[in-house]
Amino acid sequence: MTTDEALMLQVRGGSRDAFESLFERYRGPVWRFFRRRTAEAARAEELAQDTFVAVLQGSARYEPRASFRSYLFGVAYNILQADRRKTRSVEPLDAEPQAPATPDPDEAMWVRQALAQIDAGDREILMLREYEQLSYQEIADLRRLPLNTVRSRLFRARMALKSMLMPDAGESAKVGHDGR
């Protein structure tokens, strides 16, 4: 299978087929990236569309310095930030999506409510790791944070979530490691 980076180089050379292959591979992940961060499905679709348009536009300047995946989510993240600046508001994470009900609204609601209660910056890092599967370094580059800061904040977010989603798990980390 052709790698993403190779496909993107073909896109840079003007290949429409390569772009469509990339689109098919990342259509779902990019959609989910925006759907989890916006209240309206229509807006998520528009921002996802803008991301691929931006990739198409920037293909002439593309250099395979990092993985295409991190490049793509970097573009998506910038578009999301620009949109939030434009609307002058950050979408509340606990807002119930306006689109048709998700397949499991109960479980989704549970996690969403827990995520809404943790620090916004920590939450974003955790979501980039858990849902977009970005590496620590990729998240650090994207958020312009030191690598160790990303690791600390990710740990903090996971511990906060643990106490909300798995209350019966207790305080083992603190007990065992003296809260370090």
Partner 1 sequence: MTVAEHAVNPEEVMAYLDGELPAERAVVVHAHMTSCDACQRLARELRGVSREVTRWSVEDAPAAFTAPLRPPSDVRSMRWFRFAWRPAVLAPAAAVAGVLLVAVFGPFRAARSVEIPVGPDSMVQRLEESRSRAPAREREGQMGAVMGRPDGNAGSVGALAAEPSKGPMVTRTVTLRIVAKDFDSARPAVDRILRDVSGFVGQISASAARGSARSLTATLRVPADRLDAALAALKGLGQVVEESQGGDDVTEQAVDLDARLTNARNTEKRLTDVLQHRTGKVGDVLEVEREIARVRGEIERMDAERKNLARRVAYATVTLEILEERRADLDLGPLPVSRQFRNAIVDGFRGAFESALGLALFGARVGPALLLWGLVLAWPVWLVRRRYRGSLRG
Residue ranges that bind partner 1, judged by CB under 8 A: 19-20, 23, 27-28, 31-32, 35-36, 40-43, 45-46, 48-50, 52-53, 56-57, 97, 99-112, 115, 126, 129-131, 133, 135-136, 151-152, 154-155, 158, 161-162, 165-169, 172-173, 175-178, 180
Minimum distance, C-beta of residue 111 to partner 1, in the bound complex (Å): 4
Q: Which CB, 5 or 50, lies closer to partner 1? A: 50
DSSP 14: T
Minimum distance, C-beta of residue 74 to partner 1, in the bound complex (Å): 19
Structure tokens at 104: 């499991």
Task: Give the per-residue SS3 of 70-133.
Answer: HHHHHHHHHHHHHHHHHHCCCCCCCCCCCCCCCCCHHHHHHHHHHHHCCCHHHHHHHHHHHCCC
Q: Which CB, 67 or 102, lies closer to partner 1? A: 102
Structure tokens at 152: 């600390």
Buried-exposed string 122-158: b where 16+ CB fall within 10 A, e elsewhere: bbbbbbbbeebebbbebbbbbbebeeeebeebbebbb
Minimum distance, C-beta of residue 18 to partner 1, in the bound complex (Å): 11
Minimum distance, C-beta of residue 104 to partner 1, in the bound complex (Å): 5
Q: Which CB, 53 or 90, lies closer to partner 1? A: 53
Rg (CA), the chain: 18
Minimum distance, C-beta of residue 10 to partner 1, in the bound complex (Å): 15
Structure tokens at 27: 């259509």
